[in-house]
Chain A
Amino acid sequence: MDLFFFLLFAFIAVACAVSVVLQKHPISCALSLVGTMASLAVLYLLLGAEFIAMVQVIVYAGAIMVLFVFVIMLLNAGEESSKGRSWIAKIAGLPALAALLGILGYAMLTFYPMVGPKASLVHFGDFTGGGAKEIGTALFTEYLLPFEVTSILILIAILGAIVLARKEID
């Protein structure tokens, strides 16, 4: 079962991600991205991260992506023009990407072998430390300071957004 769900949602995630890159219209991209995020949420659940999976769906797929869609609608963004002049992206981009993928894959598979007795396995239900209770405990004890800092960060982000938006009024 683990394997089935993994393969299914991994496929959906990758397919949607590719769609994000390939779709011409931003709205299509945004919807594809929602797909990726949703499937990732399922994968999180498989990994025992219930809380994060929920947050992923609510905050990411919900709030943030709505923001994106909203902006796209607001700006009435159409299909992107193919007009561009980054020769360096064309020449160096794809080889660099291939190399990046190769290196990342190589590194991860070196440290975490794919198969064999050493390979550690993910089985649904093995790890149950990702519930809201555990997260909450850690967040308000060990990670209290960073947590409070995030509140300031968000405050600043709100301020920043307001300041930037206010210019439009002037």
Chain B
Amino acid sequence: MDPQVLMQTLGKGVPTSWYLALSAVLFTIGVAGFILRRNIITVFMCIELMLNAVNLSFIAFAHEHRQVSGHLFTFFVMVVAAAEAAVGLAIILTVFKNRSTLNIDEIDSLKN
């Protein structure tokens, strides 16, 4: 990679791929949190993080293709995220009420 070319390019703007790479990084962090964290609320936040990462990709693509569709997808994702948060948190409340724990390792009634 030629540093000169790089500088020349960066002078004009940031490559789309950087945004995408950022999106990938954020997504992976979200997945890592999902896998590694035990607190159910945190896990839920990690899901939001992943959604945000995806949204970033959408916006980046929208810019790339000069289309507004990506924005609309993002919009819809947000709507879904809001709905999901409402229901999800309600579920968490109920689960906590019944089991008095937020540790997802102890919530394993899906087994069998």
From 54 to 101 in chain B, residues with beta carbon under 8 angstroms from any chain A beta carbon are: 55-56, 59-60, 62-64, 66-69, 71-72, 74-76, 78-87, 89-94, 96-97
When distances are taken between beta carbons in the complex, the residues of chain B under 8 Å from A93 are: 32, 35-36
Given A14-B26, A75-B93, A160-B90, residue A129 in contact with residue B66 (CB < 8 A): yes
Query: How close is B41's CB to chain A, nearest CB, in angstroms?
Result: 5
Q: How far is the CA of A18 from the CA of B6 in the complex (A)?
A: 28
Q: How far is the CA of A64 from the CA of B52 in the complex (A)?
A: 13
Residues 153-170 of A, flagged 1 when their CB comes within 8 A of B and 0 if not, give: 110111011001101100
Q: How far is the CA of A130 from the CA of B19 in the complex (A)?
A: 17
Contact present for A67 and B63 (CB under 8 Å): no
Contact residue among B15, B44, B71, B82 (Cβ-Cβ distance under 8 Å from A120): B15
Given A36-B26, A67-B86, A109-B21, residue A83 in contact with residue B93 (CB < 8 A): no
Given A127-B63, A135-B71, residue A97 in contact with residue B32 (CB < 8 A): yes
Contact present for A135 and B68 (CB under 8 Å): yes
Query: How close is A60's CB to chain B, nearest CB, in angstroms?
Result: 6
Contact present for A127 and B66 (CB under 8 Å): yes
Contact present for B17 and A52 (CB under 8 Å): no
When distances are taken between beta carbons in the complex, the residues of chain A under 8 Å from B78 are: 55-56, 59-60
Contact present for B83 and A13 (CB under 8 Å): no
From 1 to 38 in chain B, residues with beta carbon under 8 angstroms from any chain A beta carbon are: 1, 5-6, 9-10, 12-33, 35-38
Q: How far is the CA of A164 from the CA of B91 in the complex (A)?
A: 7
Residue from the set B12, B16, B69, B76 with the largest chain A CB neighbour count within 10 Å: B16
- What is the interface size of chain B, counting residues whose CB is below 8 A from a CB of the partner? 77
Given A52-B75, A108-B20, A126-B63, residue A160 in contact with residue B33 (CB < 8 A): no
Q: How far is the CA of A49 from the CA of B81 in the complex (A)?
A: 19
Given A3-B14, A108-B21, residue A20 in contact with residue B49 (CB < 8 A): yes
Closest 8 CB pairs of A and B: A157-B83, A121-B13, A123-B13, A104-B24, A112-B17, A108-B20, A164-B90, A80-B39
Could you list some 15 contacts between A and B, CB below 8 A?
A13-B26, A20-B33, A21-B36, A26-B45, A36-B49, A40-B56, A47-B63, A67-B85, A122-B15, A123-B13, A126-B13, A143-B72, A154-B79, A157-B83, A164-B93
